[in-house]
Structure 1
């Protein structure tokens, strides 16, 4: 965890200038010292409770005995230790058990747990997102009963979107919610409904870690004719607790009609239960009636808008988790390359077989693989923390700054989720390669890191979905305001780099790349036909993401140079080297990705089933 902590110290102190937040009233109780204490505590907990049991959580998969789901005792202890640390509510107000920490600090601290065991940490992360949604969209009673108990770690939470027949196509969900008798709108916990249906891929959907699980469930309310409304506009959101509670937040002793139908057995992330849940199948009938009791959150038909609050937060979290898995592989392969001796250098000196072998890290190609990992890992961490810093600006900045932060987050969220997920897996693949044959075995942790990380390219929206979101919505929304604002930030970095010796050429390259993305965006939409523009949305996403990461790396290089003697020489040179690697080896890839976008290449769109 030393490499990650060193990276955090640079990013928080010298790049994001966290000290500027402490002058704001909401964060007035905090300082560099309190933040250091939080990071120290989380690093220690992750080192003691999570990292030693990561392999155990992988090999002893969750299993169901027909009544209960069983997890290793270490998973229970780690999840509860995380809850007891206060980190679920870290960024929340004091009155809800929070610390009023900046969200960027909460995410940075969460990184230690993800680094220690991403699967074991998922329970707390999901719960935080669930409770944060209720803080934004729930009634006072829902915040007091459900969110507050989740923040305290007494209950954990999930989100239930997908269905077996619908997958990511939320407009096709068929889970239904009907009013629970007369006076249903007057329940103290919110309008009360009975839900029936099936939900798939529910992480943390069943376990015995906490006394209750709070499910946030998307469902449709039938119309007067009994039919479900078509499309996403008819979707509503409901709180469906595993065990029923009274208006004071106490368990009633009655089980809700939510039943585990099965566990999904996965390539990675095995330490997190992943479930198929049946709502209202009749095994448990609260009040003698069929259907799981749920309380509506927000207005009817506005469920997807509410749920996107959690989904967008989860997308940043997924990307950051991918970054931390890549970081775990990087740290492991760096240590291995420094310790393992094999082969001799190229050139005359290497032709003498009597000379001892050199360490792996002395070979140029191994350095290439380590440098690539460093560029992917630290760039991804910077991206996640930058987005978290925007969240803080949105909540505590001036009205103008808050609006700019909102626009930037709209554009950057698809990148924050997808880029670390794709290139984090590549980093983990390189970590295996550095280990050679040993990397492919379970004697070393890097094969598990790769397996765990492969999920991040799928959950919370695949690359295809993120690409459609970016090119189809985010870069054109509000007349392209978000894209223009991001372009201004990128251009500012390029201009500042032009004033720093050795960085002017990189600034020019970044400016040129930005222009090519802008031109491709206009060309894609030149005909105004969505089918033509969006057929190549994924390569657009890849190119856009690489430009964003090039921008961040150049901005980091400018900050590192500005820090001067305050920055240790290895950190300065490492940052500059990773930036140069990205510009020399990665940024040139964007032209191949942008070419089909700009040409509105029709190959994939016109490909026919029988041609395969």
Structure 2
């Protein structure tokens, strides 16, 4: 995988050009390589050997604390010591001022080694949000202690009765006394309510846990405002701290109500938390103490800054789980003898068996995995490159990058979550019956990956976001920009031998996607347009990945190989590109047909008919 990462960063994304910008001027391809080397080593030594252990030794609560294997403690400590929690932060904040492109590539090694142990993605996202929306003291005390690894962070959105429907959030925050605005950390509130599906919500891996909690502030009549209006964001530490970041010795009223026992990702605690239930009463009144982040009523705006980062992280996790399964099934196929080649005269039982990788159908399954996983990795790193462009590019380039990232984020989260899961299923199939046993790791990869279609916005929510908001915002400006970028690739590829045919196929697919988008909204009735949002998401994602693969095909054609390994790499990339365009891209026809027709069967189906 390292060779592929190097190719993507160097030959395709040209990460070296980032060092020409003032923020990254101290870096070079050599320093980027050192970061990748360090992370690859830590992942190999502290994560990979314990991936099965953390799956079988699930977190448990002994009545006082959550117990995790020592290997998890060691891995989290090693990750924090590497500096990766604050990799992209300013030097003055203890960071490396590393491009997010390189940070994302480096974190990929950990996701592949053991996604279940984790890398502190939520902690980094939590701290990044505070650096953008918090007060100076909130940044200094909470964010910087998270970046150092001293404390960890969570994101608390979902509630048992509401799930993904943030309009139905019922957690309540009331001002804590008449002088609630005099608190040095920001306006102080008392929170009561419940939050569900909180990853890393309770553990002993760090000194403190900093929860970012969505809650509603009651109106003048004491009632909660319906809908998302009135939702605010609060810092709710597990243990209370003073203005110097020292623990006061007092526990906040945040209590573990239970651990969720999951299909996969068993190494990460997943919790139901009760806020303000009275188990740990705080002096001064009932409720958990929380500090307002940003302005009242703007909690969702602040939180979505964190969620967009998390969605790219989820896409990368799904990608690397797929990659782990692909590499395992490739190694198995190369050494597993079974069957004989089909020749003109039929099979000769007297001949020795051949490795199953010699069979065309096994090659098909391996090619599909390669196309899904390597294409998804390229997509995630491309989105990471857009993040860097939006932060450090010229004003015009930054604006374009931000707009393009808005459109691609639902794809970056959802496409790997669906198709790298399919890659894991194919990895099991390559192993045959052995793949369905715990003797091989591929069944765990599938279980771990199945979560990614659900968390940080389910597949259906991403689809609604894409068709209902992203492709129509600003008069369709984001979709037009993406079409322009794809068109530029098509034009370049059309002039290269061997790439004209896939370029023409992509041009037709892009036209088909644009026509379906218009047809979906032809009546202007959201209910009609959005009933088939998920097929639209699938088709949109396949068009994007066909574009990414055409880009990789161009890069492979242009990269002069210096070794036999590089020549084989280039040939493999071109074969995967061909596979995706021939086997996968044609699938969009069926998906877009129901979108264009505004097929009503799913919308009109009645409960009693089931």
TM-score, scaled to structure 2: 0.99
Cα deviation for residue 465 of structure 1 reads 0.4
Q: Which has the higher mean CA deviation after the structures are superposed, 41-50 or 178-187? A: 178-187
Which of 265, 272, 275 in structure 2 is aligned with 1:279?
275
Paired position in structure 1 for 2:114: 117
In the alignment, the residues of structure 1 paired with residue 578 and residue 553 of structure 2 have an alpha-carbon distance, to the nearest angstrom, of: 9
In the alignment, the residues of structure 2 paired with residue 203 and residue 356 of structure 1 have an alpha-carbon distance, to the nearest angstrom, of: 51
Is 1:33 equivalent to 2:30 in the alignment?
yes
Q: In structure 2, the residue corresponding to 1:493 is in which secondary structure?
A: helix
In the alignment, the residues of structure 2 paired with residue 419 and residue 458 of structure 1 have an alpha-carbon distance, to the nearest angstrom, of: 12
Paired position in structure 1 for 2:355: 359
Paired position in structure 1 for 2:54: 57
Q: In structure 2, the residue corresponding to 1:121 is in which secondary structure?
A: coil
Paired position in structure 1 for 2:501: 505
Cα deviation for residue 348 of structure 1 reads 4.7
Which of 104, 111, 114 in structure 1 is aligned with 2:101?
104
Is 1:592 equivalent to 2:590 in the alignment?
yes
Is 1:581 equivalent to 2:554 in the alignment?
no
Which of 318, 324, 334 in structure 1 is aligned with 2:320?
324
CA contact (8 A) 1:411 1:470 kept: yes
Paired position in structure 1 for 2:144: 148
Cα deviation for residue 349 of structure 1 reads 6.8
Residue deviations 1:288-329 (CA, integer Å, cap 9, x gap): 521110011000000001000111110110011000000000
Cα deviation for residue 136 of structure 1 reads 1.1
CA contact (8 A) 1:471 1:540 kept: yes
Paired position in structure 2 for 1:305: 301
Paired position in structure 2 for 1:7: 4
Is 1:607 equivalent to 2:605 in the alignment?
yes
Q: Which has the higher mean CA deviation after the structures are superposed, 229-238 or 153-162? A: 229-238
Which of 404, 411, 417 in structure 2 is aligned with 1:408?
404
Q: In structure 2, the residue corresponding to 1:345 is in which secondary structure?
A: coil
Is 1:81 equivalent to 2:78 in the alignment?
yes
Cα RMSD, aligned residues only:
0.9
CA contact (8 A) 1:69 1:207 kept: yes
The count of residues paired between Structure 1 and Structure 2 equals 608
Is 1:462 equivalent to 2:462 in the alignment?
no
1:233-252 → structure 2 map (5 Å cutoff): 233-252=229-248
Q: In structure 2, the residue corresponding to 1:471 is in which secondary structure?
A: helix
In the alignment, the residues of structure 2 paired with residue 269 and residue 34 of structure 1 have an alpha-carbon distance, to the nearest angstrom, of: 32
Residue deviations 1:374-393 (CA, integer Å, cap 9, x gap): 00000100110000000000
CA contact (8 A) 1:342 1:358 kept: yes
Is 1:439 equivalent to 2:435 in the alignment?
yes
Residue deviations 1:155-181 (CA, integer Å, cap 9, x gap): 010000000000000010100000111
Could you tell me which runs of 5 or more consecutive residues in structure 1 were left unpaired when the two chains were aligned.
Answer: none
1:379-394 → structure 2 map (5 Å cutoff): 379-394=375-390
CA contact (8 A) 1:344 1:350 kept: no
In the alignment, the residues of structure 2 paired with residue 215 and residue 256 of structure 1 have an alpha-carbon distance, to the nearest angstrom, of: 11
Cα deviation for residue 505 of structure 1 reads 1.1
In the alignment, the residues of structure 1 paired with residue 164 and residue 143 of structure 2 have an alpha-carbon distance, to the nearest angstrom, of: 26
TM-score, scaled to structure 1: 0.99
In the alignment, the residues of structure 1 paired with residue 418 and residue 28 of structure 2 have an alpha-carbon distance, to the nearest angstrom, of: 35
Q: In structure 2, the residue corresponding to 1:119 is in which secondary structure?
A: coil
Paired position in structure 2 for 1:91: 88
In the alignment, the residues of structure 2 paired with residue 191 and residue 571 of structure 1 have an alpha-carbon distance, to the nearest angstrom, of: 57
Paired position in structure 2 for 1:221: 217
